[in-house]
Structure 1
Amino acid sequence: MTPGLLIAAPRSGSGKTTVTLGLLRAFTRAGLRVQPFKSGPDYIDPAFQQAASGRPSFNLDSWAMGRALIGALTRHAEDADLIVAEGVMGLFDGASAAGESGNGSSADIAAMFGWPVILVMDVSGQSQSAAAIAMGFRNLRPDMAVAGVILNRVASDRHERLIRAAMAEAGIPVFGAIPRSDALSLPARHLGLVQATEQADLDATVDRIADLIITHLDLPAIRRAARPTSPPILLEKAAPPPGQRLAIAQDTAFSFTYAHLLSDWRAAGAEILPFSPLADEAPDAAADAVWLPGGYPELHAGRIAQAGRFLSALRRHAETRPIHGECGGYMVLGEALIDAHGQSHAMAGLLGLVTSFAERRLHLGYRRARLLAPMGGFPAGALLNGHEFHYSTILAQPDHPLATVTDAEDNAIASTGSHRGRVTGSFFHLIAEGSAP
């Protein structure tokens, strides 16, 4: 199987995303076919990874996905020379309650596939103490291996020498040291990066990151550290497509669609028909179903409210065929969206939902939903695993609840989604069909 490795860190903000992007571009420049993966439910980083490598990036989530689905996703690396996966948060961070195949941590994925871990360590504000942290990460979980470290935000040659000496004494390989540099920063929004599609100079930015990576890291040693992938051999249970002719909104306001779902739906024979609400495009009139993904509609609420062709077509479609909206898409199906300045924008009015960003409140975490009505190819009673991340506040949600929803600790969640006629919406982003915990 294709050799792989996982880029992780002791904590968020250490630089693993930019290092991963630099490695993807650097190895691709060298003529390798590099398959990216992203551990966890993040739906922003994979778009950057695709831009850096030229290949779609797929999420691997040990809480929301069963081992069969996780293992099956490695088929996308069968023609690749190298797998580079990026972790989420700190290496061992995950949900407090385990899911079908783990707690959602990057360590779960590394252990499952036998991928060695390379730790990106932000060593600003410390020197020899970094070796103690690396030793702890190496020794905590015996079913996975830490191959070595990349030192990030190194202040000087002396700083680097002190840390390298301590790492050598601890027997921990150092794959390189990156000095402090503004070139390794990317603009952020909320808890993640500004979307790849919003950055006009993204390709040049990734090239600058790759130049730094090539200069300061030992790429041959990093490639040698990769080990053959050993996925679990189990039958995959893929999510059914919402329709055989599926119209999906795709633009900067509606961009959060997991790559594995699109791949599974195509494999099941579904035809994906993209359209842009921001360009006032209507979904294909012959579509069996319409799917409005999440994104940042609040940043474009005025344009969406004025997109008469798009909104009229949605209303006509809902008379005879299903529509589903996730998070941002759910808000657009509602009566109104109030932006951060307090201005109300009329939406499609297919649901009674009214949401507001005037008083932001973070909603974040894994979700397990038991459907009370059919949704997107799933019958009532189906159990779905997903993830919720938004800052909007619900002011009105008068329609029937779509599902009973709990978090990773089995606590009830108030954002149940809703349904009216053939229209459904939820704040959770579907990842996979689940099973009872």
Structure 2
Amino acid sequence: MAAGLVISAPASGVGKTTLTLALARAWRNRGLNVQCFKSGPDYIDPAFHAAATGRASVNLESWAMDREAIAHLVSRGADADVVLAEGSMGLFDGVAARGVSGTGATADIAEMLGWPVVLVIDPSGQAQTAAAIAAGLRDYRPGVRLAGVVLNRVASPRHEDLVRRALNDAGIAVFGALPRHAEISLPKRHLGLVQAEEQAEIGKLIDEAARFVAEHVDLDAVLRSAANWSPQPAANGLNVTPPGQRIALARDAAFSFVYPHMLEAWRAAGAEISTFSPLADESPDTGADVCWLPGGYPELHAGTIAANARFRNALRAFAETRPVHGECGGYMVLGTALTDADGVSHEMTGLLGLETSFAKRRMHLGYRLATLAAPMPGHRAGARLRGHEFHYSTILAQPDTPLAVVHDATGAVIAETGSRRGHATGTFFHLIAEDR
């Protein structure tokens, strides 16, 4: 039987990822089997979880997934000693309109699974008010249980004492207090944390975080606060059809944003996945029957992609007879041109007419519900696909036939319809699940 906990906070940027990684590695160093999950649509954190635990982590998504899909995914923690779900944004932050099983809030997962919440509180610029915030979060939703808090970035022993006293008066357990420690800060860029595979020293960074947290946090008390949990059997798993039997998957620093549960579901359904690197000027497997280009950071490598004629020519040849699909960054590379942040335009593969620019930055962020107007690999016309969009590019041209009618979480129609031309299709959203 595993011990289940959710790591959350009042807001983003408070230290949830650092605490999750540190707890996971510290307990692993003690010989415990630790399984991590990510609540919400973030596709970067699961790779950090895997680096900390040695076990693959997946996303749990209440807006896009039904309860059976979530139950299926969390069942991978059945053989673990400790199960940690890292939240996104603030504990109760989600969208206004309910999705499949919730609003996407971390609280949905905590209540659904019955796991208590450890709050990371940053009391910078305040003292007793931190206790008021924690008490408000504790009492806001009856089905969500607060285990206690970890204070982060406390300024001094006196500051810590003021906050601790107020939390104790409110009946809230304090598991520890972390002074500022720049050495364990994870580097960031415009879509969030720099990816785990891009950081050669990630193991040392997590080890240092684990050492630091073990020195300042009562790990035994945190573990005792967890709920005993056994996974409930799911009648059905994920509603996922592989895009093909043999899938050529672009995979390198420019193409890495793909949800782990999607790849696992493809393999579980019998698909074979072969990877190739566009940045290394590699070609997709000629024996594959579909090619998939995930999102990532093509804007940081646009010059290399434009110069890699072997990759671009091979992809065009592939698309003459077989489907090619791109998500977000992959969609941009399927287009005609990508303008980087310096205003330099780079030729892409030209399989679609899409033209995008990072010189004119505009954030696109949110859940997407797409009803396909035509088939795309793995999904029939009329299918309802749920995903998440997050990028800073501006559309200069999107001239091809729309792939779907796309709505945001409020039901409003958006302009990012995706495109189709010949065997090529693309979307700005990253696919999470198809409605049953």
* Shorter-normalised TM range: over 0.9
Deviation at 1:340, TM superposition (A): 0.8
* Residues 1:319 and 2:320 aligned together: yes
Q: Is contact 1:67-1:234 (8 Å) kept?
A: no
Q: Is contact 2:334-2:351 (8 Å) kept?
A: yes
The residue that corresponds to 1:418 in the other structure is 419
Aligned counterparts of 1:120 and 1:237: Cα–Cα separation in 2: 32
Further displaced range: 381-390 or 180-189: 180-189
1:209-241: CA deviation from partner (whole Å, max 9, x where unpaired) = 111111001111111111133656442242100
The residue that corresponds to 1:355 in the other structure is 356
Aligned counterparts of 1:119 and 1:234: Cα–Cα separation in 2: 33
1:77-122: CA deviation from partner (whole Å, max 9, x where unpaired) = 1221111110000000001111010000000000000000000000
Q: Is contact 2:75-2:231 (8 Å) kept?
A: no
Alignment of 1:287-366 (within 5 A): 287-366=288-367
The residue that corresponds to 2:433 in the other structure is 432
The residue that corresponds to 1:88 in the other structure is 88
Further displaced range: 184-193 or 301-310: 184-193
Aligned counterparts of 1:38 and 1:249: Cα–Cα separation in 2: 23
1:275-324: CA deviation from partner (whole Å, max 9, x where unpaired) = 11111111111001110000000000111111122111111111111110
The residue that corresponds to 1:134 in the other structure is 134
Q: Secondary structure at the match of 1:325?
A: strand
Alignment of 1:61-80 (within 5 A): 61-80=61-80
Q: Is contact 1:114-1:230 (8 Å) kept?
A: no
Aligned counterparts of 1:376 and 1:230: Cα–Cα separation in 2: 36
* Residues 1:400 and 2:401 aligned together: yes
Q: Is contact 1:112-1:230 (8 Å) kept?
A: no
Aligned counterparts of 1:191 and 1:303: Cα–Cα separation in 2: 21
The residue that corresponds to 2:242 in the other structure is 241
Deviation at 1:169, TM superposition (A): 1.4
Q: Secondary structure at the match of 2:143?
A: coil
Q: Is contact 2:239-2:435 (8 Å) kept?
A: no
Q: Is contact 1:249-1:293 (8 Å) kept?
A: yes
Q: Is contact 1:367-1:388 (8 Å) kept?
A: yes
Q: Is contact 1:113-1:230 (8 Å) kept?
A: no
CA change 1:156–1:221 in 2 (3 A) is same
The residue that corresponds to 1:209 in the other structure is 209
Aligned counterparts of 1:161 and 1:341: Cα–Cα separation in 2: 49
Segments of structure 1 that go 5 or more residues without pairing to the other structure are none
Q: Is contact 2:404-2:417 (8 Å) kept?
A: yes
Aligned counterparts of 2:408 and 2:400: Cα–Cα separation in 1: 22
Further displaced range: 223-232 or 171-180: 223-232
Q: Is contact 2:388-2:432 (8 Å) kept?
A: yes
**Deviating 4+ runs (over 6 angstroms):** none
Deviation at 1:156, TM superposition (A): 1.3
The residue that corresponds to 2:12 in the other structure is 12
Aligned counterparts of 1:237 and 1:212: Cα–Cα separation in 2: 38
Aligned counterparts of 2:247 and 2:207: Cα–Cα separation in 1: 36
Q: Is contact 2:191-2:390 (8 Å) kept?
A: no
Q: Is contact 1:154-1:180 (8 Å) kept?
A: yes
* Residues 1:121 and 2:97 aligned together: no
Deviation at 1:250, TM superposition (A): 0.8
- Structure 1 residue identity aligned to 2:158: R
Q: Is contact 2:41-2:388 (8 Å) kept?
A: yes
Q: Is contact 1:23-1:210 (8 Å) kept?
A: yes
Alignment of 1:175-324 (within 5 A): 175-229=175-229, 233-324=234-325
Q: Is contact 2:78-2:230 (8 Å) kept?
A: no
CA change 1:336–1:320 in 2 (3 A) is same
1:350-382: CA deviation from partner (whole Å, max 9, x where unpaired) = 111111111111000000000011112100100
The alignment's C-alpha RMSD in Å is 1.2
Q: Is contact 2:248-2:285 (8 Å) kept?
A: yes
What is the total number of aligned residue pairs between the two structures?
A: 435
Aligned counterparts of 1:159 and 1:128: Cα–Cα separation in 2: 10
The residue that corresponds to 2:368 in the other structure is 367
Aligned counterparts of 2:397 and 2:170: Cα–Cα separation in 1: 58
Q: Is contact 2:255-2:293 (8 Å) kept?
A: yes
TM-score, normalization by structure 2: 0.98
Segments of structure 2 that go 5 or more residues without pairing to the other structure are none
Aligned counterparts of 2:47 and 2:377: Cα–Cα separation in 1: 24
Deviation at 1:206, TM superposition (A): 1.2
Q: Percent identity?
A: 63
CA change 1:191–1:285 in 2 (3 A) is closer
Alignment of 1:101-120 (within 5 A): 101-120=101-120
Q: Is contact 1:38-1:59 (8 Å) kept?
A: yes
- Structure 1 residue identity aligned to 2:255: F
Q: Is contact 2:20-2:86 (8 Å) kept?
A: yes
The residue that corresponds to 1:32 in the other structure is 32
Aligned counterparts of 1:42 and 1:178: Cα–Cα separation in 2: 25
Deviation at 1:2, TM superposition (A): 2.3
Deviation at 1:389, TM superposition (A): 0.5
TM-score, normalization by structure 1: 0.97
Aligned counterparts of 1:342 and 1:169: Cα–Cα separation in 2: 56
- Structure 2 residue identity aligned to 1:363: H
Further displaced range: 51-60 or 100-109: 51-60
Aligned counterparts of 1:414 and 1:179: Cα–Cα separation in 2: 46
Q: Secondary structure at the match of 1:412?
A: coil
